Amino acid sequence: MLVARELTADIDIVVRVNDSTNETKVRRAGADYVLTLPDIIGRLLVVDVLREEIISYDRQLKIVRFEADPLSGRAVANTSLPDLNWTLIAVERSDEIVTDPAPSFEFRRGDNLLPAGDDDAIDAFRSELE
């Protein structure tokens, strides 16, 4: 984080931690936004239960639901999606949520993608699916 901050002072650093007890440590290390796995999962449940299209994190980071049908049959690594400036945090498949899908993860018809990113990243993601 310190190297990133030295290279670009106005960068927003977003960090995901698995254990909420590490949140203070990564903030001290320079993270602007810290997402804990329980927080992410909780927000995903809100998306699923309330069918909200977008959940905002401090009005800068968003999670949006997209249908994966245009990518059906392709692995994450075999798309241009990894090159975009966002993170695929989960894929909804039937009654399960696959978090942090591996590059070999293959999309299926009916999957829903849940990328996280700022407005520009989400727009780029949307363009890739069209």
pLDDT in tens, 72-104: 999 988 887 766 677 788 899 998 889 888 889
pLDDT of residue 121: 78
The pTM score is 0.53
In the chain, what are the domain boundaries?
2-129
Instruction: Give the end-to-end CA distance of the chain in Å, rounded to a whole number.
Output: 34
- Under CATH, domain 2-129 is a member of which superfamily? Regulator of K+ conductance, C-terminal domain (3.30.70.1450)
Mean pLDDT lowest for which of 2-11, 19-28, 61-70, 75-84? 2-11
- Higher-pLDDT residue of 46, 28: 28
Give the Cα separation of 112 and 44 in Å (integer).
12
Reply yes or no on whether the pLDDT at 125 is more than 50.
yes
39-70: pLDDT as tens digits = 777 777 666 665 555 545 444 667 788 899 99
Per the DSSP assignment, residues forming a β-bridge with 64 are 54
Find out whether 28 and 12 touch, Cβ atoms under 8 Å. no
- Amino acid type, 5: R
pLDDT of residue 92: 93
Going from the C-alpha of 89 to that of each of 22, 52, 97, 100, the distances in angstroms are: 19, 17, 10, 5
